[in-house]
Each structure stands twice: as structure tokens, then as C-alpha cells.
Amino acid sequence: MNRLRDLSDPARDDVTPPRRRSIVPPYLLSRIAEIDDPRFTGAAEAARRSLLHDGPFREPRRSDVRPVLPHREARPGASRGVVHRVISDAESAEVLPGRTVRVEGEPPTSDVAVNEAYDGLGDTYELFWNAFGRDSIDDAGLALDATVHFGRDYDNAFWDGERMVFGDGDGEVFQRFTLSLSVIGHELAHGVTERTANLRYEGQSGALNEHVSDVFGALVEQYTLRQTAEEASWLIGAGLFTAEVEGAALRSMKAPGTAYDDDVLGRDPQPAHMDDFIVTTDDNGGVHLNSGIPNRAFCLAAIEIGGPAWERAGLIWYDALTSGELAVDADFERFAAVSIGAAEARYGADSREARAVVSGWTSVGIAVSGARGGE
């Protein structure tokens, strides 16, 4: 039986703030919160509430070891490769999980957000199972849970260590967060990272944590649409902005810094090269900002390899993530070395795949050694 968790007051003594990985970075919410424009009055207020709500969950939890995560018993009769989804409705409250509204095998409901969440969880499961042989987040058939309609005009979506949670957006800057399949894949991928490399959520390791989620979020979308690397948009969060915003998405993996350029929101601040690496104490040391650098490295490698990105480039990144060779505080150079080693191990040191991975990293200014683990 699920215990209700009231998140409206994270300071309560009987509530332990969960690990939270949100799709909308705090610097963008802060910009929206400061808007002085009658067109976006509701958005400014919604952003202020979202920042207030998310603040207590934003500090990184320092750890030098893999986490000990709660064990869930396998479902009776469960088989590998079979997804199990549970969608709940918070009904605009900040209490989780909310009221169960759709479970595995039930037909679509009249609520589009419920159906989008259900389908998106299934699409994400299919990518990890069919492309990488991973049976859900924990590789042991963990049920995929999600809650929709969280909070009032809540401007975010997040993974809290147990479930996906979606806000409805403010209707002025953001639409509902179940609209974007890349967002759903991104957030669930945080759960995979948590159970594998457990990259610490600060500085370069935190940017890698965000990068890995962007990679698999993009791959979920590409896999579902059956797009090749060349055909794909490489956008994260496409469709989230309303028509009032001059922007295509939250981030562009192919061209970091170009996802939006709006008179009110400003310009996408992500760097695309180490020459422009941002040193900051905000955003846990720029985890959503500097992730643009490894994002572009992966995108360039995937396009150079060619074909569907999940088949080879994605498999290399999955191998690197699950290799056991990444410390929790791994930096960009370390991840580059491990990913090159993974490409060499799977395809050969002189393969097109290995050369493409090296080229991707060097193109964004990351020094590489070309050997497994950097040895």
C-alpha cells in the first residue's frame, strides 16, 4: 500500500526530502519569476511557487558509494521484458502518489495527461528493454509509477527516486509536462543512473548526470518515431513552450545555446564547448548548463556513426554508464575515456564507432586518451 507523502511543506519533521531531478532548471524558473509583463502574470507567480517548492530538494546529497535503495518484491508471475505501469492523479494537490487512475492493461481514460504519461512510460521501457536488454529502471522489472496534475500550475516535472511527477504548467510559458516524450525518458533515466553509476549531482559529475538523461530522453523519442541520428531534432522538451515563447525546446543537444531566444525569457545559456564552460555555484554548479558540452559530443558521435542512434552510439553510452568504471564524482574527461573504452571493447579500437566517439569528445574540447578507463 502506498503511503501518502505531503510535499507542500518539505520542512516537516516527518517528511524526508527525496532525491529530486527536475527537467526545468532553476535559472529559467528564476527568469520567469522576475517577468514584469501582463501577458505572463500567471507564469511569474507559478514560477515563484515552483521555486519555493523545489528549493529544499535542490541541494545535492554527497555520497562516495552506490546508494542502498529500497527493495521491492517482484510482482507475482512477473516475467522479464514485461512493463507494469501505475498512473495516479494528484488532483492539483502536492501529495503523492495521489489517486490511482490507470494501471497496466487498462484502456485509455478521458484525461490526456494520464494517457500521455502511460504511453511515455511504456515507450521508455521499450527502449531500455529492446535496445539495451534492461528490464525497467532497476533491471529487475520495477513497476513504473507516475503522478499527473501535481500542484497548481506547477512548472516542472521530476523524478523523486520512486516515481515520475508531472505538473500541468502555467499555460502562459509552459504547457503540461506530459506533452514531451523526451522529458519522460529524461526523468526515468535519472533512475537508471541512480542505480548504476550514481553520478553525484553537482559540478561536472552532475552535468554528466543531466547529460545521460538527455541522451536517453532523446533516444526514447527517436526510437518511438523510428528516426535516424541524421533525421532527429535532438531537442529536449520540444512542445513544452506555449506559442507566446520564441523557442523550440528547453535544450538542443545538437546546438546547445540555441533552444530558445525570447525577449522575455532571454537566450538559452548552455555552452557547446569547454572554452565556454560556466563556473557557477548556481544550479548545483551548473548541472543543467554545462551538460550541453557532453550532449553535443554524443550527438556529433551518433551522427558520424550514422543510422539509429540507439543501436550503436546509445549502446556505447549505456555500456559506459553500467561499466562500473565511473566513480560518483567522474568528470568529463573520465566519462570520455570510459565511453571510448566501451566503443573499443564492443566494436574495436580502429572501428568507425570508436573513431566517432573520439571525434565527438575532441570536437567539444574534451581531452581524450583513447584507452579504456583512461589508462
In the chain, count H helices and then E strands.
10, 12
Is the CB of residue 298 less than 8 Å from the CB of residue 215?
Answer: yes
Given the residues 94, 162, 187, 221, the one annotated as active site: 187
Given the residues 186, 211, 288, 325, the one annotated as active site: 288
d(CA 23, CA 240): 11
Is the CB of residue 21 less than 8 Å from the CB of residue 190?
Answer: yes
Q: How many CA atoms lie within 13 A of 211 on its CB side?
A: 38
34 part of the active site: no
Q: Which residues contact 326 (CB under 8 A, 6 or more apart)?
A: 197, 199, 320, 334, 335, 338
What's the farthest any 2 CA atoms get from each other in the chain? Answer: 59
C-alpha cell at 324: 562500473
d(CA 81, CA 131): 12
Which residue, among 294, 307, 282, 280, has the nearest Cα to 251 in the 3D structure?
294
d(CA 18, CA 21): 10
Is the CB of residue 24 less than 8 Å from the CB of residue 188?
Answer: no
Q: CB atoms < 10 A from the CB of 30, how many?
A: 14
C-alpha cell at 125: 521501457
162 part of the active site: no
Active site residue ranges: 187, 288
